[in-house]
Amino acid sequence: MGRTKTDPRKRELFQEMLSLYHPTNMKEFSEMFKDMFAEGMQQALEGELEEELGYSKYDYKNKETNNSRNGYGKKKLATSMGSVEINVPRDRNGEFEPQIIKKRETKTTNELEEKILSMYAKGMTTEDISRHLNDIYGVDVSDSMISRITDKIMPVVREWQSRPLEEIYVVVYLDAIHFHVREDSIIVKKAIYVAIGISMEGKKDVLGMWVGENESSKFWLTVLNELKNRGVQDILIVCVDGLTGFDKAIEAAYPQAEIQQCIIHQIRNSTKYVSYKDLKLLMADLKNVYQAVDEKTALSALDVFNEKWGKKYPKIGKSWKDNWAKLSTYFKYPEEVRKLIYTTNAIEGFNRQLRKVTKSKSVFPTDESLLKML
């Protein structure tokens, strides 16, 4: 690509500025641009007032109003270049409403707010953001101001959380991730309930996130009923972990839905107390079960597994047998889509993102501050 041609008049003006300022480093360049910005803003405000009054500064002959200029008021603007002071022209009647920088505005556009929201979304604390803005831009922004700016996300969150959903989802993954929150002066463990759906068109979507007490089937029923109220009439397959009572909550809200207990969770629970020297061989034998070509072959592989490992680890085979009805749902479907059904990789990948942005905070002051960051 060729270089864009600069307007000769702009080049001439810029050369004049360079000869006037003689900047030798980035700080001096920044000061030059701040002065240019302040002067440009000043001229724009003067032009706005002139338009408002209908006559130029000394053209009293064409004055057709009883209003007039009334000096200036100083104003500090927070910009990405740092703090810039300008003189805002005033009118005697107090009717002048500047548009380029409104009366109570102290920031240029939403640039600073966008930077703050971006840093907050990456997991930076309000203290870190305040220090960063001061170091980089020379702008003093208090923790409370940052909190007020990030609070603006909450109406958007509430709108997103109550938006209408699709009528049918092929698969819905349900899982919880835990955080510590301060409540009544004590630190308690809270669960963030997450639902991710795959639509009939194959689109993956986070359906919602809810803050609740430690994970329970009762709260999951509340979540499922909310999904129903937002338009979800049917779910073909619900993928869950092995939480007690989960199946009853699903059956109460979506009696036609098939339940698939997450194989990955089942494997983790199965191998929790297995000796390290046995782990590799035992996992290979378990793989013959859950990656079998059909359910009949899988059950045969489970019998073989029990014969080999049953005496040493009796609880593993028993757990797979007891939960088989919910573990084997995916065998009804083509091999190409089984892995999509029997693992909760989609939701666990999302949970990893949540952990990444929250790792800088060990305790959240409120439920809302937790939800806001997520």
pLDDT at 1 over 50: no
114/69 same-domain check:
no
Structurally, the chain folds into a number of domains equal to 3
Is the pLDDT reported for residue 6 higher than 60?
no
Same-domain status, 127 and 245? no
328 lies in some domain: yes
Considering the domain boundaries, does residue 50 fall inside one?
Answer: yes
Per the domain annotation, does 71 fall within a domain? yes
Measure Cα distances from 251 to 200, 227, 248, 266 in Å.
Answer: 21, 14, 5, 21
Q: Both 46 and 133 in a single domain?
A: no
Residue 104 pLDDT level (bands cut at 50, 70, 90): low
Dist. CA 363–CA 342, nearest whole Å: 33
Residues 222 and 205 in one domain: yes
Measured CA to CA in angstroms, residue 368 lies from 50, 86, 209 at distances of 47, 38, 12
- Select from 94, 121, 151 the last residue of a domain: 151
Residue with tokens 């929250």: 358
Query: Does the residue 357 lie in any domain?
Result: yes
> For the segment 189-243, what is each residue's pLDDT rounded down to a tens digit?
999 999 999 999 989 999 999 998 877 888 999 999 999 999 999 999 999 887 7
Average confidence (pLDDT) over 65-72: 77
Q: Does the pLDDT at position 136 exceed 60?
A: yes
pLDDT tier at 128, thresholds 50, 70, 90: confident
| pLDDT at residue 142 greater than cutoff 80 | no
The CA distance from 337 to 260, in Å, is: 13
Same domain, 34 and 64: yes
Q: Residue 72 phi/psi, 5° resolution? A: -140, 155
Residues 131, 264 within the same domain: no
Same domain membership, residue 272 and residue 192:
yes
pLDDT value of position 298: 96
| Adjacent-strand bridge partners of 186 | 183
Task: Please report the pLDDT score of residue 80 as a whole number.
Answer: 61
Q: First vs last Cα of the chain: how many Å apart?
A: 41
pLDDT, residue 281, reads 95
135 and 104 within one domain? no
Residues 196 and 133 in one domain: no
Q: Give the mean pLDDT of 241-266.
A: 88
Element (H, E) at 299: helix 295-309
21 vs 54, higher pLDDT: 21
pLDDT tops 60 at residue 4: no
Check residues 45 and 272 and name the one with the higher pLDDT.
Answer: 272
Name the token pair of 52.
């408002």
46 vs 99, higher pLDDT: 46
Q: Quick check: is 160 in a domain?
A: no
**If you average pLDDT over residues 354-363, what whole number do you get?**
85
Is 309 contained in some domain?
Answer: yes
What is the average per-residue pLDDT within 149-163?
86
Q: Say if 124 falls within a structural domain.
A: yes
pLDDT at 369 (0 to 100): 84
Q: What are the structure tokens assigned to 310, written together?
A: 């049953």
Handedness of CA 74, 75, 76, 80 (dihedral sign): negative
Co-location of 97 and 115 in the same domain: no
Residue 365 and residue 349 in contact, taking contact as beta carbons nearer than 8 Å: no
Give me the chain's average pLDDT, please: 83
Domain shared by 121 and 205, yes or no: no
Query: What letter would DSSP give residue 243?
Result: -
Strand, helix or coil for residue 4: coil
pLDDT digit string, tens, across residues 328-348: 999 999 888 888 887 767 788
Which are the contacts of 304, defined by CB distance < 8 A and separation ≥ 6?
285, 288
Report the b/e string of 286-310 with b at 16+ CB within 10 A. Answer: beebbebeeeeebbebbeebbeebe
232 and 332 co-located in one domain: yes
Residue at 156 is within a domain: no
Choice among 15-24, 55-64, 118-127, 308-317 with the minimum mean pLDDT:
55-64
Instruction: Give me the domain span that covers residue 34.
Output: 1-108
Are 295 and 335 contacting, i.e. CB atoms less than 8 angstroms apart?
no
